Amino acid sequence: IKKQQQDVLGFLEANKIEFEEKDIAANEENRKWMRENVPEDSRPASGNPLPPRLFNDSRYLGDYEAFFEARENNAVYAFLGLTAPPGSKVHVCIAHSKQ
């Protein structure tokens, strides 16, 4: 999980995409927010969704696998719901765990 989180954060930082991190390990409100905003069909069969999960504000974008696939297909900006050119500032929220 930690490596996946670092991969996503590293990409966003390298491409100067602004983002907000929500630590779900240390903050119950963030954990609740993530659980409420991950759609039913994107949750695991048992247990809770694991980080990292990506959102554009409260709109769920996907998990690490979806992000990775978009990156491999040079479609990250579309995945993130961004129409701005690379280097533009946008708000992307990443629910993750720092532990």
Report the DSSP beta bridge partners of residue 90.
none
Specify the CATH number for the domain of residue 53: 3.40.30.10
Kindly report, residue by residue over 1-24, the tens digit of the pLDDT: 899 999 999 999 998 888 999 999
Domain assignment of residue 4, given as a range: 1-80
Give a yes or no: residue 94 inside a domain.
Answer: no
Q: Is the pLDDT confidence value at 89 over 60?
A: no
Q: Looking at the predicted structure, is the pLDDT value of residue 90 above 60?
A: no
Place of tokens 């930082």: 13
Q: How many CB atoms lie within 10 A of CB 92?
A: 18
CB 29 within 8 A of CB 37: no
Percent of the chain with pLDDT over 90: 57
Q: Is pLDDT of 85 > 60?
A: no
Q: What is the pTM of this model?
A: 0.80
In this structure, is residue 99 part of a structural domain? Answer: no
- Residue whose token pair is 């500032």: 89
Mean pLDDT along residues 83-99: 57
Structural domain count of the chain:
1
